[in-house]
Amino acid sequence: MASPLDLDQLQTFCAIADCGSFTEAARRVYKTQSAVSMQIKRLEERLGQPLFLRDGRRVTLTREGEALYGRARRMLKVNAEIIDMFSQGDLAGNIRFGVPDDYAVKLLPVILSSFQRTHPRITVDVRCQPSEELLTGMRQGRYDIIVFTQGTMHEFGELFRTEKMHWVASHGGRALGSDPLPLACGPNFCIWRADAIEALSRRNRDFRIAYTSSNAMAITSAVLSDLAIGFLPESALQPGMRVVGEEQDLPRLQDAQIALLRASHAYGGIYDALATHIVESMGNLPGPQESRQPETAAE
């Protein structure tokens, strides 16, 4: 009978896969670099396959490593669940949490304030950044948990909510009638921007990028000030906005996919407490047909 795999080796393996560096992984798992290298050597010998491709200081997963990664994370998750099952003490500790500010202003105070009431010994350090920067920060070890708005584009994100994307304009403003159409949107790497531009191009609708910011409140201000029209997910709509669409010759946009991503160590205990609270709180928000939207434009 084959002996079981070493969970400590799998934890180290996942840490390297997350950051792409033996040196950084050693820091994350509190081991020396030589100890980390030895663990991976033993794991590769145990499985009889190379798990990493080494290119200078950068390492990437082999095909066998990719096959192991998802399964290794599931084993770490189950291990954390078993430990939690027999844990008696109150949950306490610190979590580094990242979230796009598309959701921060409207939802974050409600979600985190209720979490702090039920888990007073868990502190949450929050940073608001665009999704792409949050994913980069996760790879660099700056976060334990992030919520990001690229859904299934990231293989290991836990997709937990889908929202309709809306074109929005200032109520009573003139930007909507301008030609070319002025847009307020995120920077080049924003997936919503790419989708909107592609949809407008397919419609042969002339447009110009009038206002660019990675800050959701800045985009909202540009729309409400009638500098441009924008596009936002259901839960980010603000009073004073007009929801516009096909009647104004604007194409349907792809739905926003909201996902949660954990660092490979962030299972069980305080991490599960926060992740479960976020998913349940946002998952219970009204859907597109149930929510009360800002006034729709009437032409």
> In this structure, are 277 and 148 located in the same domain?
yes
Range of the domain at 196: 165-254
290 assigned to some structural domain: no
**pTM attached to this predicted model:** 0.82
Please report, for the domain that includes residue 242, its CATH number.
3.40.190.10
Environment class of residue 285 by beta-carbon count within 10 Å: exposed (0-12), middle (13-18) or buried (19+)? Answer: middle
> In this structure, are 234 and 261 located in the same domain?
no
Per-residue pLDDT of 193-249, as tens digits, reads 999 999 999 999 999 999 999 888 899 999 999 999 999 988 888 888 999 998 899
Q: At which residue do the structure tokens 């994307």 appear? A: 165
> In this structure, are 82 and 109 located in the same domain?
no
Question: Mean per-residue pLDDT for 260-278?
Answer: 93
> In this structure, are 131 and 245 located in the same domain?
no
207 assigned to some structural domain: yes
2 assigned to some structural domain: no
> In this structure, are 157 and 209 located in the same domain?
no
Residues of the chain with pLDDT > 70: what percent? Answer: 91
> In this structure, are 13 and 73 located in the same domain?
yes
In the predicted model, is pLDDT for residue 31 greater than 60?
A: yes
CA distance linking residue 2 with residue 45, whole number of Å: 14
> In this structure, are 46 and 179 located in the same domain?
no
Question: For residue 78, what are the CA distances in angstroms to 47, 82, 96, 104, 206?
Answer: 21, 6, 22, 31, 52
The answer to whether the beta carbons of residues 28 and 15 sit under 8 Å apart is yes
